[in-house]
Amino acid sequence: ETGVTQTPRHLVMGMTNKKSLKCEQHLGHNAMYWYKQSAKKPLELMFVYNFKEQTENNSVPSRFSPECPNSSHLFLHLHTLQPEDSALYLCASSQDGGGGGGVTGNEQFFGPGTRLTVL
């Protein structure tokens, strides 16, 4: 595997389900991000992790719970979602970003996304 991978690519869940999205980066980066992409809206930054520490939570509802066990893996745990949470969820990574005081302005590399549908 190269770049940034995401699983699953598609997910359909009921409002009472609990599921998790997984992201893995193979680029040696130390910052990882979750974005939400809804139809006809700009990409919204949800969470930022730098060196496994969460450095930003963009006022995301608590039904979304991120986890970053190491610099290569990022999870988004989902529970009791609403139909309006249906969207494309994109993961990204970069080097020395995330507000950790390192080099800024570096490119973010994106995964292919998980298309989430909440029934």
Partner 1 sequence: AQTVTQSQPEMSVQEAETVTLSCTYDTSESNYYLFWYKQPPSRQMILVIRQEAYKQQNATENRFSVNFQKAAKSFSLKISDSQLGDTAMYFCAFMGPSGSRLTFGEGTQLTVNP
Residues lying near partner 1 in the complex (CB under 8 A): 31, 40-43, 45, 48, 55-56, 88, 90, 92, 94, 97-99, 104-113, 115
Q: Kindly state the smallest distance separating residue 25's Cβ from partner 1, in Å.
A: 14
Q: Kindly state the smallest distance separating residue 17's Cβ from partner 1, in Å.
A: 23
Of the two residues 75 and 109, which places its CB atom closer to partner 1 in the complex? 109
- How far apart, in whole angstroms, are the C-alpha atoms of residue 26 and residue 47? 19
Of the two residues 66 and 113, which places its CB atom closer to partner 1 in the complex? 113
99 — phi, psi (to 5°)? 75, 15
Q: Which residues make beta-bridge pairs with 12?
A: 117
CB 44 within 8 A of CB 35: yes
**Close Cβ partners of 92 (under 8 Å, ≥ 6 residues apart):** 4, 32, 33, 35, 108, 109, 110, 111
Of the two residues 5 and 80, which places its CB atom closer to partner 1 in the complex? 5
Q: Kindly state the smallest distance separating residue 71's Cβ from partner 1, in Å.
A: 14
